Amino acid sequence: MADGGAACWGVGARGWDHPDWVGSLYPADLPSDWRLAYYANEFSVVVVEEGDWLAGEDLSGLGWADDVPDEFRFFLELELATAVKYERGCLVDRANTTLGHLIGGFLVSGAASVEPDSIQDILGGDVAPSLLFCEDRAAVHLQTQAARRIFRSVGGESGAACIAVIDSGAIESLRDLRAEFDQVSRNAGSDEVRAVFLAGDPPDPDMLRGARTLVDLLIP
């Protein structure tokens, strides 16, 4: 499995298969199984909810790797409480066999009291430390209204990095989004911000495009 690989401040959404995006992000006549390919034409990263990548026996039948360009990255959500129910290495090997270098990282929650080395040991498999991001429950939410989750890398040769997942429900304008990005930078500190994602039910496609524009303008 590759060590890192996603571009700094990639912009994407939590999930891509949102029926409410039909008519906004997706054309009305677009087949549902073409949505990932269409999404990947605009955005370079996506968060996959735990239930979506653990739903079947394996990922090979979903064809995700065939629907995206080589530089695209999947970030896979995983609760530590779920991971311990599987044989050591099973989940990592399952994802790696199908997605390989397209995996941007595992976003691990519920691991606040667990040492990073222990998390890697629990997951097992061929997983680079730089691809493990643990939720930082101490990340401070100041002066903004949106809920924000920060995941920090366990380690790796590429240096410390973090991922931000922002609930877009309270974001009403690009000004609000800019404030969120400023706070993400403060939360990150000296860490590299690997990617920022908008979550919601569903995230607003126009806000996603605005986020990408802000990153292009503000991030060197």
The CATH fold assigned to 10-218 is TIM Barrel (3.20.20)
Name which of 203, 137, 210 is nearest 179 in CA terms.
210
pLDDT at 155 over 50: yes
pLDDT of residue 198: 96
Q: Which two tokens stand for residue 11?
A: 């912009």
Over range 204-216, report the average pLDDT.
92
User: 43-60, pLDDT tens digit by residue?
Assistant: 999 999 998 888 765 566
| Residue 170 to residues 54, 72, 114, 167, 201, Cα–Cα distance (Å) | 29, 28, 31, 7, 12
- Between CA 134 and CA 78 the distance in angstroms is 10
pLDDT of residue 6: 39
pLDDT in tens, 9-21: 899 999 999 999 9
Residue 214: is its pLDDT beyond 80?
yes
| Span 168-183, pLDDT tens digits | 888 889 999 999 898 8
Query: CA-to-CA distance for 147 and 168, rounded, in angstroms?
Result: 8
Among 20-29, 83-92, 107-116, the minimum mean pLDDT is found in 107-116
Task: Tell me the mean pLDDT in the region 173-196.
Answer: 88
What is the pLDDT at residue 1? 40
Provide the pLDDT for residue 160: 83
Tokens linked to 182: 């400023």
- DSSP character string of 33-96: GGHHHHHHHH-SEEEE-HHHHSSSS-SGGG-GGGGS-TT-EEEEEEEHHHHTTS-TTHHHHHHH
d(CA 75, CA 59): 14
Are 174 and 210 contacting, i.e. CB atoms less than 8 angstroms apart? yes
CA atoms of 48 and 63, how far apart (whole Å): 14
Given a cut of 80, whether residue 4 has pLDDT beyond it is: no
Nearest to 65 by CA among 92, 86, 95: 95
Q: Mean pLDDT, to the nearest integer, of 67-90? A: 90
Mean pLDDT (the chain, rounded): 84
**Helix ranges, the chain (H):** 35-42, 50-53, 80-83, 90-99, 116-123, 174-188, 205-218
pLDDT: which is higher, 127 or 74:
74
Could you state, in order of their start, the residue ranges of all structural domains in the chain? 10-218
